[in-house]
Structure 1
Amino acid sequence: MTPRKIELFVPAITPFAADLSVDTGRFVAHSKGLLASGAHGLAPFGTTSEANSLTVAERMSALEALVEAGIPAEQLIPGTGCCAAADSIALSAHATKLGCRGVLMLPPFFYKGVSDTGVFDAYAQVIEAVGPGLRVYLYHIPQMSGVPITLPLIERLIAAYPGVIAGLKDSSGSWENTASVIAAFPQIDTYSASETMIPENVAAGGAGCISASSNVNPAGIRALIDGLNGPDHGALHEQVSAVRRLFEGVPLIPGIKAAVAAQKNDPEFARVRPPFVATGSEHAADIADAVRIAGAQDRE
């Protein structure tokens, strides 16, 4: 069996202009910089990207801007999961037509307590509507969505749509859950949402990580991936863990954006859309420490 490639995909932040429109120029520049810093690819329009504060048209336009700027579509796994099936279908078909590696798809997330059968039907509706070429990465983030992606559901989707279910991002924070997915479904790529879990993920047969804090520390996380079996493994793991711990103590998305703004010396990157608010002075020290530990990034 060919060894699985271990990868870092970054859920790139979405910069906003003063009128809160998407700042496409900064979005493209940041995305290119992440790849130049060692990220294998991007997973825009997930939680960290404030995707659920973006319209379908905004997501499509921003994705097109990345491809038009020369970022290979095969390095992109955009988020496409919405509450309305027609929106998920439109976004997924658009990404597939552009040639994206796949789509990262939340289940419909407003109604809680729904059955696995209902969630299966929701995914099936999108898969069958989009048709050939679609590759789906399931997005398990039950603490936000309220709709878990269970092992029986994954099994049923893989059986019904072989070759379409390409992977899963586990943002539950539970290593036990991630490990159970990897063990049960070695044929798909399973990503952890924290870089601190990369050693365990890789040892178990996983595919790497899709991490919010990789917006700030892509070079450090890439160094950890490349050095997993090397003599500096311990120090590399401590570096990424130290950055991650600091972000766990601040409002995550505003904190990530504030850190990127500090790294780039460009306060425009710190702007968020409501209901988020920018970080205040009480979090300044932690954000400054995260930027210091992450160090200089080889940004384009």
Structure 2
Amino acid sequence: MSTDATPTGVFPATLTPVDADGEPNAALLAAHCRALLAEGATGFALLGTTGEANSLTPGQRMKLLEDLLAQGFDPTLFMPGTGNCAMKDAVALTRHALDLGCRGVVALPPFYYTPVSDDALFAVYARLIETVGHARPNIVLYHIPPMSRVPIVPAVIERLIEAFPGAVVGVKDSSGELANMTMLAKRFPQLSILAGADPLMLPLLREGGAGAITATSNVAMPLLAYLFRNFADPAAQDKVAAAQALLSEIREVTRTVPQIAALRALAAVRRGDPSWSNALLPNLPLTSAEDATLRAAVAPLFARMDGFGA
């Protein structure tokens, strides 16, 4: 099910371009977003894991969003990540995004003091909803236990829905477990369940999912857009299968080296700007040898992707 509030489609988990000193580059990000829209993106989930938000200060995150919107974008295209271990920072980031007119936010759970009980996790999201000061904060819960070590279990989601009707609109599931995603789609049909792993979007769509927020869409958006548009078209199933297979090939190539560094290197290729390879510590750019190997491996895959344009 989808309403105007529930996000449906493909939302790239956008990389954050930075200069040599680690300062975000809003102009370069704006150009990237325009290219992604032309390739079929629905909107953008910036400042998440792929966007390395936890390597930026709250002030940098707010300024980047402001500078990006100053480039003339409709703010409803954006769902920035606003989760933070510091409750006041999470509230400030969420309020800031909503005040700017963003369609909602993607809220990571607190991730340092583990384990976090279900009661504590409910209390965190309840405090966020109650304090942010918006009647409809349009929160997408960010379930990424491989990174956060804090799973967002169905019982917590159910409590939040009952306590704060309309406040939670979806779940980004980056567990890598299709069974969990399909369970959520069936148990919570009022929410958008979004795959956080590129190859799982297609099977999730077929089980009632709403789309995806993924990293590889930074460089393979035409494939994800094609899959989203055509997954249910009987006449397109051969090409859907080909798109899915090519997407998996590209994703596997990016996983042979650290993924964010790989995506930065490939963004430099796709967007024709070498500054995309600049890194935010503790991530490092690829070595010259790694970069050359990656480019050689992905070049024929990108050439095949041209047949799936928006």
Inter-partner Cα distance in structure 1 for 2:295 and 2:173: 25
Question: How big is the shift at 1:287?
Answer: 4.2
Match of 1:143 in 2: 146
Inter-partner Cα distance in structure 1 for 2:256 and 2:149: 23
Structure 1's 208 and 291: CA in aligned 2 closer, same or farther, altered over 3 A? farther
Match of 1:171 in 2: 174
Question: How big is the shift at 1:196?
Answer: 1.1
* 2:306 is equivalent to residue 289 of structure 1: no
Question: How big is the shift at 1:5?
Answer: 7.8
* 2:265 is equivalent to residue 258 of structure 1: yes
Residue of 176, 200, 204 corresponding to 1:201: 204
Inter-partner Cα distance in structure 2 for 1:249 and 1:175: 22
Inter-partner Cα distance in structure 2 for 1:138 and 1:160: 15
Q: TM (normalized to structure 1)?
A: 0.94
Q: TM (normalized to structure 2)?
A: 0.91
Inter-partner Cα distance in structure 2 for 1:21 and 1:199: 36
Contact 1:96 1:133 (8 Å CA) reproduced: no
Inter-partner Cα distance in structure 2 for 1:15 and 1:178: 30
Moved over 6 A (4+): 1-5, 296-299
Alignment deviations for residues 156-201 of structure 1 (CA, whole Å, 9 cap, x no partner): 1111111000000001111111111111111100000122112211
Question: How big is the shift at 1:291?
Answer: 4.6
Match of 1:162 in 2: 165
The runs of 5 or more residues in structure 1 that have no matched partner are: none
Contact 1:250 1:283 (8 Å CA) reproduced: no
Inter-partner Cα distance in structure 2 for 1:294 and 1:181: 33
Question: How big is the shift at 1:32?
Answer: 1.7
Contact 2:36 2:221 (8 Å CA) reproduced: yes
Partner letter of residue 80 of structure 2?
A: P
Match of 2:26 in 1: 24
Structure 1's 268 and 113: CA in aligned 2 closer, same or farther, altered over 3 A? same
Alignment deviations for residues 37-85 of structure 1 (CA, whole Å, 9 cap, x no partner): 1100000000000100011111111111222212211111100000001
Residue of 99, 104, 107 corresponding to 1:105: 107
Count of residues in Structure 1 that have an aligned counterpart in Structure 2: 299
Inter-partner Cα distance in structure 2 for 1:278 and 1:205: 38
Percent of pairs with identical residues: 38
Residue of 221, 227, 230 corresponding to 1:218: 221
Contact 2:32 2:271 (8 Å CA) reproduced: no
Match of 2:62 in 1: 60
Match of 1:39 in 2: 41
Structure 1's 120 and 233: CA in aligned 2 closer, same or farther, altered over 3 A? same
Match of 1:186 in 2: 189
Contact 1:38 1:222 (8 Å CA) reproduced: yes
Question: How big is the shift at 1:294?
Answer: 2.9
Answer with 143-152 or 222-231: which moved more.
222-231
Alignment deviations for residues 114-161 of structure 1 (CA, whole Å, 9 cap, x no partner): 201001101111110113231100001111111110111111111111
Inter-partner Cα distance in structure 1 for 2:53 and 2:166: 26
